[in-house]
Structure 1
Amino acid sequence: MADEKDTAAEAPKKSKKMLMIIVAVAVVLLGGGGAGAFFMLKGDSAEAVEEPVKGDVVAIENTLTVNLADGHYLKFGFALQMTEAAGHEEVDVNQALNLAIETYTGRDVAEFATEEGRNTLKAELLEKVEKAYEKEEQQMVMDIYYTSFVTQ
């Protein structure tokens, strides 16, 4: 009878010990795998998010006036923030002007009433301008600055 108690007492100890070893190994493997994935992904994103360096600012001298919906209008001026890769060459701004007219004409004046709305529309225009002025897959325009902005 004493042998049965000893065997019964040893069985839970062995199973608890084995369970602790399995849990410890799993924690080490999951932690190591997670850390490895974090550092591998972090390295890729750091290379992919290389910000362009600011270059010249090209001011567009004349303001634009575009018709909005319901008899309203928008009068605005803007400048292009070029990248360093664009160099110091003279920039033909006519394409940017045309894209601005196409993007803003016919919009509801309420879209321009809030900062969020203006930022959304500016981002839309910037995306089009960046694409239009891209050379050999290199970004030439990195931002747009409003120099005047009036709605009525």
Structure 2
Amino acid sequence: MATKTAEKAETTESTESDESVGRLKGILKKAGIGVAVLAVIAGAAWWFVLKPAPPPEPGEILKLDAIQINLAEGHYLRLGLGLQMTSTAHELDGSKALDAAIDLFSGRELEYLQQNVRRAELKEKLMHRLEESYHGDVMEVYFTEFVTQ
């Protein structure tokens, strides 16, 4: 009789063990399906919402008249600008660009402006200011005139 009780106990334990494993497998399947669904949702969100916009199409170039800017030690800079507008930009006013250029170049040392690396840095800073001022309507800035004396 003790043998039958021991066999029943082993059978009960193995049945409970099999049920636990079955429940665990079910939970893991559901978790795997949940992760897959979340991955699909995240991918769709990126594709439709977060995907970066294509670069804007170039439009007209607004050429601004050259201006003279006072530099340090009695020197001056004659600077002409061209603003590459996006195709969606319409009739930009160049006064913001001229103001930014005057602010950026005024009082600079002549030797500083004669270095190509420094001139490129200033052009990049000017472009950053134009992006802020024109809210993305200007794609690029060109120096059409750059004469120092």
Instruction: Note if 1:85 corresponds to 2:88.
Output: yes
Matching residue within 51, 57, 60 for 1:56: 60
Aligned to 2:50: 45
Aligned to 1:134: none
Q: Is the 8 A contact 1:129 1:141 kept in 2?
A: no
Instruction: Decide whether aligned partners of structure 1 residues 79 and 44 sit closer, same or farther in structure 2, where only a CA change above 3 A counts.
Output: same
Aligned to 1:98: 99
Aligned to 2:3: none
Q: Secondary structure at the match of 1:30?
A: helix
Shift of residue 31, structure 1, vs aligned partner: 2.0
Q: Is the 8 A contact 1:80 1:141 kept in 2?
A: yes
Shift of residue 114, structure 1, vs aligned partner: 8.3
For residues 105-143 of structure 1, the C-alpha deviation after alignment (integer angstroms, 9 at most, x for no partner) is 357859x6385x446513332224414xxxxxxx64332
Aligned to 2:141: 144
Separation (CA, whole Å) in 1 of partners of 2:16 and 2:53: 57
Separation (CA, whole Å) in 2 of partners of 1:74 and 1:123: 18
Matching residue within 27, 37, 41 for 1:36: 41
Shift of residue 64, structure 1, vs aligned partner: 4.6
Q: Could you tell me the percent identity over the aligned residues?
A: 26
Instruction: Note if 1:121 corresponds to 2:122.
Output: no
Q: Secondary structure at the match of 1:36?
A: helix
Shift of residue 21, structure 1, vs aligned partner: 1.1
Q: Secondary structure at the match of 2:56?
A: coil
Q: Is the 8 A contact 1:99 1:128 kept in 2?
A: no
Instruction: Decide whether aligned partners of structure 1 residues 26 and 100 sit closer, same or farther in structure 2, where only a CA change above 3 A counts.
Output: same
Structure 2 alignment gaps of length 5 or more: 1-5
Larger Rg: 2
Q: Secondary structure at the match of 1:85?
A: coil
Shift of residue 22, structure 1, vs aligned partner: 0.5
- How many residue pairs get aligned? The number is 139
Q: Is the 8 A contact 2:70 2:106 kept in 1?
A: yes
